[in-house]
Amino acid sequence: MNTPLNGEPLLKTYIAEFHVHTVVSPCADVMMIPPLIVQEAIAKGINLLAITDHNTAVNVWAVQQAAQDTGLVVLPGMELQTSEEVHLLCLFDTLAQLEAWQTIVKAKLPPLENNIEFFGEQFVVDETGEFIRRESQLLLTSADITLAEAVSAVAQLGGLTIPAHVNRTAFSLIANLGFVPADVPFDALEISRHLTLDSACQKFPQLKKYPLIQSGDVHYLTDFLGANICQLAAPTIAELKLAFRNQQGRSLKVIEIDY
Does residue 122 sit within a domain?
A: yes
Does residue 6 sit within a domain?
A: no
| Rounded Cα distance, 159 and 76, in Å | 10
83-109 pLDDT, tens digit each: 999 999 999 999 999 999 999 999 999
User: How many domains are there within the chain?
Assistant: 1
Does residue 259 sit within a domain?
A: no
pTM > 0.85: yes or no = yes
Percent of all residues in the chain with a pLDDT value above 70, rounded to a whole number? 97
Does residue 38 sit within a domain?
A: yes
Q: How far is CA 194 from the centre of its chain?
A: 17
| Rounded Cα distance, 114 and 240, in Å | 35
Does residue 2 sit within a domain?
A: no
Asked whether the beta carbons of 225 and 165 are under 8 A apart, the reply is no
154-200 pLDDT, tens digit each: 999 999 999 999 999 999 999 999 999 999 999 999 999 988 999 99
199-253 pLDDT, tens digit each: 999 999 999 999 999 999 999 999 999 999 999 999 999 999 999 999 999 999 9
| Rounded Cα distance, 70 and 76, in Å | 17
Q: Domain containing 236: what range?
A: 12-254
Instruction: Find the CATH number of the domain harbouring 74.
Output: 3.20.20.140
Does residue 197 sit within a domain?
A: yes
